Chains A and B, each alone.
Chain A
Amino acid sequence: MSQPLLEIKNVKKHYQVKSKNIFSTQKNNVHAVNDVSLTINEGETYGLVGESGCGKSTLARVITGLIKPDSGRVFIDGEDFLQLKGKSLRDKRRTVQMVFQKPYESLNPKMTIGEIIRAPFDIHNVYHKREREEKVKELLDLVGLSEKYMSRYPHEFSGGQRQRIGIARAIALHPKLIICDEAVSALDVSIQAQVLNLLDELQKEFKLTYLFISHDLSVVRHVSDNIGIMYLGEIVETGDADTIYSSPKHPYTEALLSAIPKAHPKQVKTQKILEGDLPSPINPPEGCKLNTRCPHVMSICKTKPNLESIKEKQKVACYLYNDQR
């Protein structure tokens, strides 16, 4: 197996919010990411799935260094990313790039496409100034856009084209890891397929590693080698994509997978609907976070289960399968 490119260890991030009462000085914590560890090997695609509000995007931002976690460590290529400073941090940042969720909001409307894609070169001062233009043309060609678009502005493009521009910008510095935060969620199915195919081609060509964040389970299934399921800031199940999709173990994973609409009207499926709504991350339940909604809840679920291996390629945080009882 290949080397681990990204290793996250016990990352924790809480946000402070003010209490509802305007006279109160009490502050509450939003438990966005709670003690998450994961490893991504070079060249693979790791899919991170979960409902909105489960901390997927916060985790992505911690990995790119856009926000500092409260505790925990992030290793990229064996180096502790969070300890780096100055020039070495700047250099390291080139290895991790991000494609954002909303193609309409992630491009500066006042810059031309050429300027947007050239920005990484200018910031990191790579290539000679005259070379940069050539490189931008190459990148546009790579993502399937014509070089005559260079002097146009983002509003002249459709959602799919903008996402291509976002991808061109992300691969400009030859990063090793690209984080796709809901990169195709805002697109129509036919355009979504185009962008997914493009990402696949780029991965083969540049041996990229993807962290693919999405709430769309079919898309994650399509692209991922390994996946992790998040619920209220914690990873509840992780492992090989084929194993998890064919035999989900955690009750939350089961419910999530059964909620996917069927692909064909004749397909028969049993739905396991969880009771109630997602609890607020301000005061999450004690112990296993699912204990307020889980159909198999036991008394031991008041204490937190650990993520433990049950098969070679599958880890679950649930007392139904762990022998910690």
Chain B
Amino acid sequence: MLRINNLTTSFKINKKLYPAVKDINITLEKGETLCIVGESGSGKTITSLSLMQLLPSNGEISSGEIIYKDQDITKFGKKKMNKLRGKSISMIFQDPMSALDPVYTCGYQIKEVLDFHENYTNEEKVERVISLLKQVGIPHPKNIYNAYPHELSGGMCQRVVIAMALACDPDLLIADEPTTALDVTIQAKILKLLNDLKEQRNLSILLITHDLGVVAEMADKVIVMYAGEVVEVADINTLFDHPKHPYTKGLIGSVASISSKGNQLYSIPGKVPSITEMPKGCRFNTRCPLASDKCFIERPELEFVTDHTSQEVRCWNVDTVGGKQNEPASLRNKKCKKTLSSQK
């Protein structure tokens, strides 16, 4: 349903263009949940904003295409895009409190979407809004219709935002860190709601998060991003059972586990490089425990892993189809495990 081909989005900083995301390829089928994971600054949000064409004024899509239902939406004009946005593709933002306008009632804000896209009479619209509020699990929807955002808790606001996103029966829902600002108990409720909605409506969800727990709950397929590049693509079980890229391994290793009290967590040294100072070669080379000379010179390509057909990885140290290697993979994997465990 959605295919993004070689998307590059650049930002103009001091009259120079810097690519914030580079050569992104994403495919999303109907009824599927795709998670994009990565730390802050890895280009997750920029990818979703490019998709909605809501980039800030100094950003632009410099190459690539976004094919949605067989049409390249990067070539759409403003008017056509406005018709698509909120109707067929809609988005849930990170902070529910700031995503709602404080001077309008919640009901009015949801109705606004219907005003823009649908030809209903006013009564029909109000009825639809109330049924939407009921669907997202809000008690007393009639009272909430006339409530202002500041009167509601964070979890309730996020439900209103979800109701707004669902107002016109979209086919694709982009959720940018939908539960980051919420408490765990509320997070569990919102994730359950999204999963239920997905099943009822056969929605496709593009979920952006930095929380691997959320990924484990929600995803069918996962894309791991680092410094504006996709470093690993895999289905959910493969990713958790056999992560290949050293960054993915590091991410999974650094999550504190609740099943036991650990001593030392594995941590990735350093931090994500800034957009103006990207290292040459593999972008992870400054923090990678396996980095060799080659990693500092040549940029690896995203290629299929030899032993898992559904997994793609961007690393010189993993056996890939078409990748040129000097060492046998078994040896390298051992090395990787050794370095990881010695740091633990």
Residues of A within 8 A of B (CB): 51-52, 158, 160-161, 188-194, 196-197, 200, 215-219, 221-222, 224, 241-242, 245, 255-267, 271, 273-274, 276-278
Contacts and interface: CB of A to CB of B under 8 A. Distances in A.
A189 B262 contact: no
Contacts of A219: 256
A259 B256 contact: no
A202 to B, nearest CB: 13
Contacts of B237: 265-266
B259 A263 contact: yes
Contacts of B267: 190-191, 193-194, 197
Contact of A222 (B183, B210, B265): B265
Contacts, number: 126
Interface of B: 39-40, 139, 153-156, 183-189, 191-192, 210-214, 216-217, 219, 236-237, 240, 250-251, 254-259, 261-269, 271
A247 to B, nearest CB: 14
B216 A222 contact: no
B142 to A, nearest CB: 18
4 closest Cβ pairs, A-B complex? A261-B213, A193-B254, A222-B256, A193-B267
Nearest to B155: A277
A215 B217 CA distance: 19
Contacts of B212: 189, 263
A169 B259 CA distance: 33
A262 B217 contact: yes
Contact of A190 (B186, B191, B268): B268
B153 A277 contact: yes
B153 A222 contact: no
Contact of B264 (A158, A197, A255, A261): A197
Q: Which of A158, A161, A242, A261 has the most CB of B within 10 A?
A: A261
B264 to A, nearest CB: 6
Given A260-B184, A278-B153, A217 B189 contact: no
Contacts of A262: 213, 216-217
A257 B187 CA distance: 12
B185 A259 contact: yes
A264 B215 CA distance: 9
Nearest to A20: B151
A221 B185 contact: no
Contact of B254 (A158, A161, A192, A221): A192
Contacts of B268: 190, 193-194
Q: Which of A189, A245, A266 has the most CB of B within 10 A?
A: A189
Contact of A271 (B188, B250, B256): B188
Contacts of A266: 237, 240
Nearest to A194: B267
Contact of A256 (B184, B192, B250): B184
Contacts of A257: 258
Given A259-B188, A277-B156, A218 B255 contact: yes
Nearest to A49: B184
A259 B103 CA distance: 33
Given A189-B210, A259-B188, A222 B254 contact: no
Contacts of A242: 261
B261 A222 contact: yes
Contacts of A258: 188
Contacts of B258: 217-218, 221, 245, 257, 260, 263
Contacts of B39: 188-191
Contacts of A241: 261
12 contacts: A160-B271, A188-B39, A216-B256, A218-B258, A221-B257, A222-B257, A259-B188, A263-B212, A264-B240, A265-B236, A273-B185, A274-B185
Contacts of A271: 188, 192
Contact of B184 (A192, A259, A264, A276): A259
Nearest to B38: A188
Contacts of A192: 254, 256
Given A190-B39, A221-B261, 20 more contacts: A52-B154, A161-B271, A189-B212, A190-B268, A191-B39, A194-B269, A196-B265, A217-B184, A218-B213, A218-B258, A256-B184, A259-B187, A261-B217, A262-B216, A264-B240, A266-B237, A271-B192, A273-B192, A277-B155, A277-B156
